[in-house]
Amino acid sequence: YICVTLNSVNLRFKRMKEPKVRLMLVGVEKNSVETVRWGQLGYVHDSNTILELRYYAGNNTVKFQDADVLFYLTGHDVVTDDEKTGKISSAGLGIAYVSGLCTKFFVGLGEDSAGYYTGVGTIAHEIGHLLGAQHDGEGPARSVLGHPGAANCPFRDGYLMSYVRDGPQQHQFSNCSLQQMQYVIAVRGDTCWTVLSKKRLYSPGKYPGTQLTLLARCKKLYPDKLNVTAALVLGNNSECKVRCEHRVTKEFYKEQRLYRAIYTYRSELEALDYTTCGERKVCIQGVCRPRPTRKPSLTTSITNNSARPKTVVQLQ
């Protein structure tokens, strides 16, 4: 499941050039005891938990010596401090240190609903931070001398390093994000890029859209409803969406006559990568495209001229 998830995350890094980036899974650790989670039952407090995760990584340097990134993936609801109200907010999805790649700040975390690949965007966003990308619209990261920042890419444009979710660009890094990651990876140098681990985990050719049906996703959205239906719909510019519906029939009397009304409830989800959208076509990063003829990239694919931050994913 983690390998399939990372295959999808890697699609978002395909625009990276000079150096190229491909995430490679080198280990998974499943928590039997909650060693780093900070928060009430069922919740993960983002800033406190990532601090505990950093301490945990620092105390286990031998265990994680082959990793450039350590990511804590949780099924709990990630919560954060609301800066305006000072209260806990469930609006959080993940957190990571900007430019933490190959330093003691190499940790990030995010939430995912196991089996449903809901964490793909969050993982890509947080690893984007670790590789050096600020939120779009923000200035340079002070922790890296000469960092280019993202002031030239408006937050409202809705790319991956913003919180605006309107259009297929939400699955892509902006040019500013690409430039920042290129800069930080270059600063870290080839000692950071060298693949140290002999263990490589992968699921070749598998993507979320090939593993999960549309109906399963819609039933997850409406778990206690009957007559749930699912359909792939194409919007402007071949944008892929999954339409979920369920109907409720209600009866009522009016003027001593029995009437029956049917109410249709509808929601739309983003289509997962490699969801079929036509003959020899699949959805990739939110857009229906001809199915690639080349063999899909693997989580562990290696080329001599590629810089590949390796990832250890810690499961809870």
Indicate the domain borders of the chain. Answer: 2-204+298-315, 211-290
In the chain, pLDDT over 70 holds for what percent of residues? 91
Does the domain at 2-204+298-315 match CATH 3.40.390.10? Answer given as yes
Q: Could you say which DSSP state residue 280 is in?
A: T
pLDDT value, residue 293 = 81
- Whole-number pLDDT of residue 226: 87
Measure the CA–CA gap between 38 and 210, rounded to whole angstroms. 35
Residue by residue, DSSP assigns 72-109 as EEESSEEEEE-TTT-SEETT--EEE-TT-TTSTT-EEE
Q: Which are the contacts of 258, defined by CB distance < 8 A and separation ≥ 6? A: 251, 252
Q: How far apart are CA 155 and CA 161, in angstroms?
A: 8
Q: What is the pLDDT of residue 308?
A: 44
**Is 70 exceeded by the pLDDT of residue 214?**
yes
| Statement: residue 310 has pLDDT above 60 | no
Dihedral angle of Cα 183, 185, 189, 191, to the nearest 10 degrees: 180
As given in the structure block, the two tokens for residue 53 are: 């995760």
pLDDT exceeds 80 at position 200 = no
- Tokens 């975390």 -> residue: 109
Instruction: Give the tens place of pLDDT for each residue, 182-197.
Output: 999 999 998 887 777 7
Known catalytic residue at 126? yes
CA distance 260 to 251: 4
pLDDT score for 196: 73
Q: Which residues are annotated as a binding site?
A: 125, 129, 135
Q: Provide mean pLDDT across the span 241-254.
A: 92
Q: What is the mean pLDDT of residues 223-237?
A: 93
pTM of the model: 0.89
Mean pLDDT confidence for 261-278? 95
Helix 2-12 and helix 120-130: axis angle, to 10°?
60
Q: Cite the annotated binding site for Zn(2+) by residue number.
A: 125, 129, 135
| Cα torsion 90, 93, 99, 105: sign | positive
* Residue of 18, 34, 52, 126 marked active site: 126
CA distance 225 to 223: 6
Do 241 and 269 contact (CB within 8 A), yes or no?
Answer: yes
- Of 112-121, 170-179, 205-214, 247-256, the poorest mean pLDDT is in 247-256
With a cut of 80, say whether residue 316 has pLDDT above it: no
- CA distances from residue 62 to 59, 66, 67, 254, 308 in whole angstroms, order as listed: 9, 8, 10, 74, 20
pLDDT over 90 for what percent of the chain?
Answer: 68
Average pLDDT value over all residues in the chain: 89
Each residue's pLDDT tens digit, 44-86: 999 999 999 999 999 999 999 889 999 999 999 999 988 788 7
Confidence of residue 306 (pLDDT cuts 50, 70, 90): very low
CA-CA distance, 282 to 206, in Å (whole number)?
A: 13
Are 134 and 114 contacting, i.e. CB atoms less than 8 angstroms apart? no
Task: Indicate the pLDDT class of residue 303, thresholds 50, 70 and 90.
Answer: very low
